Each structure stands twice: as C-alpha cells, then as structure tokens.
C-alpha cells in the first residue's frame, strides 16, 4: 500500500505526503441495510473534508470481503493482533514461507524470548512451527473459510510440551492461558473487519495422554530458563558475540 512506510519492525508508520494514502474500513455484511447507510455516511464525510483544503480525495470504493481477504489481512498485520504485552517481530512484508520471526512473550512477569518458523502459507491459511526451546513443540495453523452465514477464522494448535518443566506449567494453567491468548487474537482480527462482538468457540482435544519424561534433557534448551538468566545477568554481563544470549533461534 502506498502512502506510508512501515517502521519499528512494523509497529509504526511514516507518512509520505508525496504519495496517495488509502484508508480502509470494514462493515459486517450480514446487515445490508446498515452497511448501505454506513457507505452513504462515509461518502458524505469525505465530501466535508474538502473544506480543509486537503489533497484531492478520490471516490469511495465498496467491495465484498471474502475469506481470502481475512487471511491476507491476518498475514499482513499479524503483529497488530497479538494481545498487549507480547511482541512478534517478523518480516515487514508480512508472512511468507521460510520466514523466521522473533517473539517476546509475557509469561508471569518474565519475558520469554523465542521464535517461530513460517512452515506454510497460501491465500487462505498459514502455519507457524515452534523452535527448539519453545514451551511446546508443534504447529499453529491459521485459516479463514466461508461458512455460508459468514466467514469462520480459526487458530488451530497441535502441541506437546517440550520438556518436563513446560509440562508442569501447561498442566497447571498453561493450556488455559494459551487458549485465552488465541481467543484474544481472534477478537482483534474480527474487530479489524468491523465485527465488535464475534462468537469465539474453543475446543481442546487430547490426542496422546502419555508423558514423555525421557526427553528431560530438552530442559537444557528451555527458552524460559535462558530468558530468566539473561534478564538477571544482563546488567552485569558482557557484550556477547552474535548468536550468544538467551534467545532460541527457530530452525527447520
């Protein structure tokens, strides 16, 4: 989109006065009468702006938003939909297969530094894979599909704790917090398209009840422990070489 340049890793924007700016607004399509009224009001408001001697304002264009549009917006603005206190630092161009993104997650007063790898992405879905040391091993798939009465946007997580410490954390409240995290994200996606009160459904299925305590050695790569040590020792630590520190790098 012309008119501005993304800065601060996609969290801010710098306006370019020499390029046209595009403003988009989304309205629920189920109430067609309300949608038509909102379009007329927007046209009237744009006409009033001419009194301020702004640069020329073009015609208002109206189009129907399909499931692919939801998925594209989710990929292009993924960091903006995350709950407050969490940070997703990915490519400025959005989400594409092979990309790597760094994460700062709020975990009980401690910032967990980790990352994700973009395993797959197409027009209507994309999948992220967690790295070694993340709190769980697995995939997170995001998709949008037409359900007839509207579009269903979904975040589907297939996960298993990475080590015994994470296993305990997930057992005692971690799974619930994970569900809340993605429910808040879905609400933020819906709000972008003008849906202020979306219906959020959460379903959990256990596909394997066994505990894999034999992988206790994975604790060595625990990103939470490394993040805590980095936080504690940072004021007294020396500057390290590239690759050192408490952040786990995503891998294929």
pTM over 0.75: no
Looking at residue 169, its pLDDT comes to 86
Looking at residue 170, its pLDDT comes to 87
Residues 117 and 27 in one domain: no
Looking at residue 140, its pLDDT comes to 93
Instruction: Give 70's DSSP letter.
Output: H
Looking at residue 52, its pLDDT comes to 62
Considering the domain boundaries, does residue 58 fall inside one? Answer: no
Considering the domain boundaries, does residue 184 fall inside one? Answer: yes
Considering the domain boundaries, does residue 158 fall inside one? Answer: yes
Looking at residue 210, its pLDDT comes to 84
Residues 118 and 39 in one domain: no
The tokens for 213 are 């305590």
Give the residue among 139, 138, 131 at the shortest CA–CA distance from 249.
131
Residues 37 and 86 in one domain: no
Give CA–CA dist 163/181, Å, rounded.
21
Distances in Å between the Cα of 24 and the Cα atoms of 1, 42, 79, 81, 193 are 11, 11, 18, 17, 10
Residues 34 and 8 in one domain: yes
Considering the domain boundaries, does residue 249 fall inside one? Answer: no
The tokens for 38 are 């909102």
Looking at residue 252, its pLDDT comes to 39
Looking at residue 237, its pLDDT comes to 47
Residues 142 and 204 in one domain: yes
Residues 13 and 106 in one domain: no
Looking at residue 21, its pLDDT comes to 63
Give CA–CA dist 224/34, Å, rounded.
48
Number of domains observed in the structure of the chain: 2
- Decide: 121 and 127 in contact? Cβ < 8 Å: yes
Q: Count other Cβ atoms within 10 Å, centred on residue 198.
A: 17
Residues 187 and 227 in one domain: yes
Give CA–CA dist 168/191, Å, rounded.
34
Residues 162 and 110 in one domain: yes
Which residue spans within the chain are E strands per DSSP? Answer: 4-7, 12-15, 87-89, 100-107, 110-121, 125-129, 136-146, 151-161
pLDDT by residue for the chain (252 residues), tens digit each? 455 666 665 556 676 767 666 666 666 666 677 777 877 887 777 777 666 666 666 667 666 666 677 788 888 888 888 888 888 888 766 788 888 888 888 876 677 788 899 999 888 889 999 988 888 889 999 998 877 667 888 999 999 888 888 888 888 888 899 999 999 999 998 888 778 788 899 999 988 888 877 778 888 888 888 888 877 776 554 444 444 443 333 443
Looking at residue 161, its pLDDT comes to 87
Can you give the three-state secondary structure of 28-63, one letter per residue? Answer: CCCCHHHHHHHHHHHHHHHHHHHHHCCCCCCCCCCC
């Amino acid at each position: 989109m012309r008119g501005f340049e993304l800065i601060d890793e996609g969290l801010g924007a710098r306006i370019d006065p020499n390029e046209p700016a595009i403003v988009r607004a989304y309205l629920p399509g189920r109430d067609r009468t309300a949608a038509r009224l909102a379009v007329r009001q927007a046209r009237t408001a744009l006409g009033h702006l001419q009194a301020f001697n702004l640069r020329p304002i073009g015609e208002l264009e109206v189009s129907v938003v399909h499931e692919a549009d939801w998925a594209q917006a989710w990929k292009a603005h993924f960091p903006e939909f995350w709950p407050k206190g969490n940070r997703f630092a990915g490519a400025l161009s959005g989400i594409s297969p092979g990309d790597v993104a760094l994460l700062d997650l709020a975990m009980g007063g401690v910032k967990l530094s980790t990352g994700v790898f973009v395993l797959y992405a197409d027009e209507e879905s994309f999948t992220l894979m967690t790295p070694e040391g993340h709190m769980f091993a697995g995939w997170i798939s995001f998709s949008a599909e037409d359900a007839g009465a509207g579009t269903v946007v979904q975040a589907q997580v297939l996960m298993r704790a990475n080590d015994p410490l994470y296993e305990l954390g997930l057992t005692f409240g971690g799974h619930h917090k994970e569900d809340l995290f993605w429910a808040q994200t879905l609400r933020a996606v819906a709000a972008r398209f003008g849906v202020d009160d979306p219906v959020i459904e959460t379903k959990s299925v256990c596909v394997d009840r066994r505990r894999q305590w034999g992988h206790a050695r994975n604790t060595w790569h625990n990103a939470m422990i490394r993040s805590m040590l980095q936080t504690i020792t940072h004021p007294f630590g020396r500057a390290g070489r590239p690759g050192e520190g408490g952040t786990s790098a995503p891998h294929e």
